[in-house]
Copies of this chain bind each other. A is one copy, B any other.
Amino acid sequence: MYEPWDIREKHVMSRRRGPVNKILKLNVRDRDTLLRAPLFAGLPPLVAKKVMDGVTVTSHESRDILFRDGDMSENFFCVLSGFVRLYRLSRDGREADIGLFGAGEIFGECVMFADGCYHMHAQTAEPATIARFDNAKIKALAEREPELAISLMNIMARHLQQARDNVANDRLHTAPQRVANYILEQCPADQASASFRLPFQKSLLAGKLGLAPEALSRAFSLLKQSGVSVRGRIIQIEDVDALRKI
């Protein structure tokens, strides 16, 4: 969608337009977000403190590049606010999204247990604040604190399932089906009708589902027939059960 030479893409180190990404102090609100994040769920306070200890926080405007395919990895990350998109580039410059992470979610963690080198790009999809952990330190800590190791394994297991969900979803379902699935995931299962607000732009959702924005748009307009109405980011579902049958 956006080429590497696109002006809108700004590297984390560039300061072309003033303070693109400030280094912040960890404020109470961000600290709270972190403590609720799955990485810290189940950690004894003492271990949590140690993990929290080496964290650095940065703020970014939209479309900042956090790392690139091929970069050596010294950090993994947690989103504190905004969204971050992981993607790959083909040789001819097309992009494929392989992950989208919102507040409280970890990304880039798997690299420190693999070859130490990112195999994807990471870009903020909105203005965002990001917490950054030191690979070496956390890895060493995980060897001493089993609860941390378990946390990391839980996270990677979930990410693995999500990635496989994507593969299966792409291979088995058409665009309207994928969209219907996504909508259903956002709905509480027990209600007849529902309504929610997209947490991000439609073009991001399109990427997440492996669709061109046009295809998402057409899928939405087709789902109107099944009682899905979309206005802006608000999505209303008349009959959740009917949607399940798509």
A residues with a Cβ closer than 8 A to B are 86, 88, 90, 94, 96, 98-99, 110-114, 119-120, 142-144, 146, 149-150, 152-154, 156-161, 163-168, 170-173, 210
Contact = CB atoms under 8 A, between A and B. Distances in A.
A168 B114 CA distance: 18
A210 B171 CA distance: 7
B113 A153 contact: yes
A160 B164 CA distance: 8
Contacts of A114: 154, 157-158, 161
B161 A96 contact: no
Given A112-B157, A149-B153, A160-B160, 7 more contacts: A88-B172, A96-B171, A114-B158, A119-B165, A144-B146, A153-B156, A160-B163
A5 B143 CA distance: 47
B172 A119 contact: no
Contact of A164 (B98, B157, B161): B98
B156 A113 contact: yes
A133 B220 CA distance: 45
A161 B160 CA distance: 8
Contact of A167 (B111, B146, B154, B170): B170
A167 B98 contact: yes
Contacts of A149: 142-143, 146, 149-150, 153
What are the nearest 8 A-B pairs in CB distance? A113-B157, A163-B163, A96-B171, A88-B168, A143-B146, A90-B172, A110-B157, A149-B149
Given A96-B172, A153-B153, A156-B156, A110 B167 contact: no
A161 B119 contact: yes
A90 B173 contact: yes
A40 to B, nearest CB: 16
Contacts of A86: 164
A154 B113 contact: yes
Contacts of A167: 96, 98, 163, 166-167, 170, 210
21 contacts: A88-B164, A90-B173, A98-B167, A110-B157, A110-B161, A111-B157, A113-B154, A114-B154, A120-B164, A143-B146, A143-B149, A146-B146, A146-B149, A149-B150, A152-B153, A156-B160, A159-B160, A160-B160, A163-B166, A163-B167, A166-B167
